Structure 1
Amino acid sequence: MTQAAVRHRGGTVQLPGTSGWRAVALREPRAWPEHPGGFRERVAFAAAHVVADPLGENVPGAPAVVDWESTLAFRRHLFRYGLGLAEAMDTAQRGMGLDWAAVRELVRRSSGQALALGARIAAGAGTDHRPDLRTLDDVAEAYAEQVEFVASTGAQVIVMASRQLAALAATPDDYRRVYDRVVPLAGSPVILHWLGEMFDPALRGYWAGADVAAATAAFLGLVHDHAEHVDGVKVSLLDAGHERRLRAALPPGVRLYTGDDFNYPELIRGDGTHSSDALLGAFAAVAPAAGAALAALDAGDGATYDAEMTSTLPLSRHLFQAPTYYYKTGIAFLSWVSGHQPGFTMVGGLQSARSITHLARAFELANEAQLLPDPDLAAERVTLLLRTAGAVP
């Protein structure tokens, strides 16, 4: 019997924290119902991570080497619980290790799988394949190349925020000059993505300025002028009040896809007049519970929705604590301990971006939410990681 197995014999596992070691009782796994086909009341996308090939040279600055079998299997896991796939977004380490060659292959493979299974997929189009952009016209042309590629795979286009545009644009009119050209190109309605600086510091002042109210006015002007080309807007500013005000000001028929990993239960539930749909990295970690909650909402069972969705919030808030842009390390860790992938490595070596105590707490919160499908396997794996790190009680 392995040392790891001994450590969690009797239904407990020893975990470290800031105040020392503690014995955590393993909870019985739940038999979460599957919901292939999606939901009636809300559209919900999970932004998924990629699984690194453990034998690949996935070191900082190197091209990504992806374990395609495990990466696609994880997407099938999301589909089983009714979630659509938001592909090649920041959760997949876009801009943090996932290069354009890997992005193209990822979108091609995922789109083919989603279309074969009748699942919904949207994928990010940006400008990150052209680091040499010098003018706004260059940015627009770079966007056009990626929009054309994503649309050609059958995926819905998500127009991502551009680091290069943020560096070049000086006024709201500069943003409009680019987006006015790009938004109509996909041939079908797109999702516009406003990603806050907590997720990517290079996007500070997007829409031209630190004044969020002025930036929101510029953003709304774009959406209203292109409403026929916009399915929805995905906002990741972690500000529930701002999201409520923004969604109330959107044109009829344009969705607000919440990206608020701190407040999504209340925003998705809505206030009786307006509600948010979802495009969340957190849903990659809590897919079974999110699916159960959204199914309850379809059934008009608000109490069950509240109970199921709220149970995931402590875990999500922990994963997305500052520095928020490293949240994907916790997503990949939970995928590993849950048995969805063979190892805990990430492209760009990003598995080192969170501390051992942070990951131990993520394990504990996933256990509390009954999101570990095989608690014994999960306990064995987290104990193995702790011992490898030299963390021994």
Structure 2
Amino acid sequence: MSKLLSSLTIRNTIFKNRLVVSPMCQYASTDGFANNWHLVHLGSRAVGGASLIIQEASSISPEGRITYADMGIWKDEHIAKLKEIVDFIHQQDALAGIQLAHAGRKASCEVPWKGGRQIPLNEPNSWQTVSASATPFREGDQEPLAMDKEAISKVIHDFAAATRRAAQVGYDVVEIHAAHGYLLHQFYSPLSNERADEYGGSFENRVRLLLEVTEAVKKEWGSEKPLFVRISASDWTEGGWTIDDSVKLTRMLQERGVDLLDASSGGNVPKAKIPNKPGYQVPFAASIKKQTGILTGAVGLITTAQQANEILLEQEADLILMARESLRNPYFPLYGATALGDDVKFPVRYERAAPIIV
């Protein structure tokens, strides 16, 4: 069996292989509610053979959404449909995860196919954004409110409440979204945090909110199931967050019970120079894993089974998180296994279409 198709155990949870469907926003919700689009979208990828299906960035509050069409988990009424989806994923012998998120200053936007720009205040589907400081993401965006202590406490409370709901739904994994220029990244990056209080200035102050959120989530989630955190390991911009900062932060997250560091990058400044090439973010996962010993997830233009397997064999990561390739091919794990010569079990209703390995 290939390394890609080998199992991995984290806490009490067995991942049947190392392929994970990465969170991918669908912008298909009204008032945060999941619907049948999400059932089919996520369910088909569970049928496709991935070990873990992580639901898209799900907002912990209405104001934390990227767009008015984002999925949410800020009220109990969201639970019923989410549970239906998770139950279906479990029926396919797959694990279900949820990424908890707050967009901060990158909120109140139009959906991507309508341009994706921030919607001006007082126009339909807009709202006041918040951030570490009153600095907009890009020129022309609305100025976010610099969060006071009450607003910070609310965010921590909202993450905890969302985690309680996630436990009620029955997810197997919770991931805290602290990457891509969203709220928690806005606090820890010196490019977006201009505060002078205990949440700004020094490294220790800038990471404080993420650590407090992690502690609150961990308290609600407990120690039986895995807890992931996604960070942007580099801002790709001079004077910004670096891989050395990421290693230091990872050690702090380990102390707070985080099981896996999902190493992405970028997203906090609009003109960062990012070298988009196959596996361009894998070195971040490899460096963090080597220096801290934590389990890591590799992401970023990983498109073939051979490429994914090699990353694992080189011990650069422990899980492979696929996004766009999973959109192109929901059944990538089944076909990837075949490409590597593994004898993989197709769903019984699809067995007659399984490739024959000779």
TM interval, shorter chain, is: 0.5 to 0.7
Aligned 8 A contact 1:240 1:263 in 2: no
Deviations 1:255-292 (A, max 9, x none): 21122125775354226440431222222322323432
Q: Could you report, residue by residue, the CA deviation over 1:138-172 in whole angstroms, capped at 9, with x for unpaired residues?
A: 43223222222222211121111173332464243
- The separation in 2 between residues aligned to 1:157 and 1:64, in whole angstroms, is 18
Unaligned runs of 5+ in 1: 1-34, 198-203, 302-393
Q: 1:154 to 1:174 in 2, by over 3 A?
A: farther
Report 1 or 2 for greater relative contact order, CA contacts < 8 Å, sequence distance ≥ 6: 1
Q: Give the aligned partner of residue 38 of structure 2.
A: 71
Given that 1:190 and 1:232 are in contact with CA atoms closer than 8 Å, whether structure 2 keeps it comes out as yes
The equivalent position to 1:80 in structure 2, one of 35, 47, 62, is 47
Question: Distance between the aligned counterparts of 1:143 and 1:102, measured in 2?
Answer: 9
The answer on 1:217 being equivalent to 2:236 is no
> Where do residues 30-109 of structure 1 align in structure 2 (5 Å cutoff)?
40-50=16-26, 52=28, 63=31, 68-83=35-50, 84-89=52-57, 95-97=66-68, 98=70, 100=72, 104=78, 107-109=82-84
Structure 1 vs Structure 2 CA RMSD:
4.1
Q: Is the 8 A contact 1:44 1:279 kept in 2?
A: yes
Quick one: distance in 1 between partners of 2:322 and 2:315?
Answer: 19
CA distance in 2, matches of 1:298, 1:230: 34
Partner secondary structure for residue 299 of structure 1: coil
Shift of 1:123: 0.1
Q: For 1:79 and 1:244, locate their aligned partners in 2 and report how far apart those are by CA, in whole Å.
A: 27
Map of 1:193-232 to 2, 5 A cutoff?
Answer: 193-195=230-232, 210-226=240-256, 229-232=257-260
- The residue that corresponds to 1:173 in the other structure is 204
2:311 aligned partner, one-letter code: G
Q: Residue 160 and residue 192 in structure 1: after superposition, are their counterparts in 2 closer, same or farther (change >3 A)?
A: same
Equivalent of 1:158, from 175, 181, 184? 175
Q: Is the radius of gyration larger for structure 1 or structure 2? A: 1
Whole-angstrom CA distance in 1 between matches of 2:241 and 2:27: 38
The question of whether the paired residues in 1 share the 8 Å contact of 2:23 and 2:55 is answered with yes
Deviation at 1:51, TM superposition (A): 7.2
TM-score by length of 1: 0.51
CA distance in 2, matches of 1:271, 1:85: 19
Q: Distance in 2 between matches of 1:231 and 1:298?
A: 31
**Aligned equivalents of 1:159, 1:143: Cα separation in 2:** 9
Question: Corresponding residue for 1:235?
Answer: 263
Q: TM-score, normalised by structure 2?
A: 0.55
Q: Name the SS for the 2:231 alignment partner.
A: strand
Match 2:99 to one of 124, 127, 137: 124
> How much does 1:245 deviate?
1.7
Cα separation, partners in 2 of 1:220 and 1:213, compared to 1, 3 Å: same
| 8 Å CA contact retained: 2:231, 2:261 | yes
Contact 1:158 1:191 in 2 (8 A): yes
Unaligned runs of 5+ in 2: 8-13, 59-63, 105-127, 131-146, 188-192, 194-198, 266-279, 345-358
